[in-house]
Structure 1
């Protein structure tokens, strides 16, 4: 399966279709937050008051609750800026095939944060699609701007060049 995703033309087409769908969804999510106003404080307070619980009735991710309390809540203004722009940029990167693997990686990080905070929503679906994109590697963005951007970046920064083992 991985070889098919990474090497085949049919895999490239299938992943491109999945990538376009996911990119549109992320872009629309980010655009909506930017244009309609976004305030994460209610969401953060809800996650702090009702953390995800495990089967024994204890918080499943106490480290994440601590992170929300100590790092996110005091700097909510920063997160009110980062979340919508992050969603929009992840969406555009995935949609246009621009630094696709980086965008998919940061999409995974955001989806995991939402899940750790207790919001299921579309996050499992997005995670599955992002993992498929990551598994496909550069084949996921051959029909996209990475076809030109990645070779250009490798010519400018030698440490990005592939090494032959």
Structure 2
């Protein structure tokens, strides 16, 4: 039998009959905050550089997948040869990185920002496909960081205030409990 101290949080999840359990040390909140701030800043900075310096995805989309044995080569080629999609990506990537980074750093729409960050990193993972050093690369690791931030709902800073906004005499989060998964 395990002993739990009042300052510990126990995480427990069962999936397909397998239960995983862990205990978070009180300092864990600070490490999750540091993780959130670092990944948020990295994404914000990357997006800001693209917004300010210009960004064109076409060459990357057309050429990258054919050079590395990517299983999604056809999809990337189609994306790079479809003008409306290239224009969409040229806006979505830089501004998406800025929005995701800001959302993660200031703690507003944290889970939503982390979800889109993970989705973007999954696409980058396939775009930068390289198995010479194994299937795990930095894009994959960033995706896991975003998923961790989403799972922990880490960082309800600004979101905490938005949740308490009163609508019809009730805090927003009580009136619309499903928002907890987006704001948190």
Q: Would the TM-score normalized by the shorter structure come out above 0.5?
A: yes
Task: Give the aligned partner of residue 70 of structure 1.
Answer: 78
1:29-61 deviation line (CA, Å, top 9, x unaligned)? 0000000100001110112422x43xxxxx5x2
Kindly report the root-mean-square deviation, in angstroms, between the aligned alpha carbons of the 2 structures.
Answer: 2.9
1:101 aligns with 2:116: no
Deviation at 1:117, TM superposition (A): 1.2
User: What CA distance in whole angstroms lies between the structure 1 residues aligned with 2:87 and 2:142?
Assistant: 26
User: What CA distance in whole angstroms lies between the structure 2 residues aligned with 1:72 and 1:42?
Assistant: 7
Deviates more, 1:71-80 or 1:85-94: 71-80
1:21 aligns with 2:38: yes
1:148 aligns with 2:161: yes
* Structure 1 residues 5 and 95: CA distance shift in structure 2, 3 A: farther
User: What CA distance in whole angstroms lies between the structure 1 residues aligned with 2:10 and 2:139?
Assistant: 23
* Structure 1 residues 108 and 47: CA distance shift in structure 2, 3 A: same
User: What CA distance in whole angstroms lies between the structure 2 residues aligned with 1:102 and 1:7?
Assistant: 24
Unpaired stretches in structure 2, ≥5 consecutive residues: 1-8, 12-20, 131-136, 166-171
- Asked whether the 8 Å contact 1:15–1:133 carries over to 2, the reply is yes
Q: Which has the higher relative contact order, 1 or 2, with Cα contacts under 8 A spaced 6 or more apart? A: 1
Task: Give the aligned partner of residue 94 of structure 2.
Answer: 84
1:59-84 deviation line (CA, Å, top 9, x unaligned)? 5x2xx333323345312111111110
Please identify which structure carries the higher strand content: 2
Deviates more, 1:1-10 or 1:92-101: 1-10
Residue-pair matches, total: 150
User: What CA distance in whole angstroms lies between the structure 2 residues aligned with 1:161 and 1:79?
Assistant: 29
Task: Give the aligned partner of residue 157 of structure 1.
Answer: 176
TM-score normalised by structure 2 residue count? 0.68
Please identify which structure carries the higher helix content: 1
Deviates more, 1:5-14 or 1:72-81: 5-14
Q: Which has the larger radius of gyration?
A: 2
Task: Give the aligned partner of residue 29 of structure 2.
Answer: 12
Deviates more, 1:148-157 or 1:79-88: 148-157
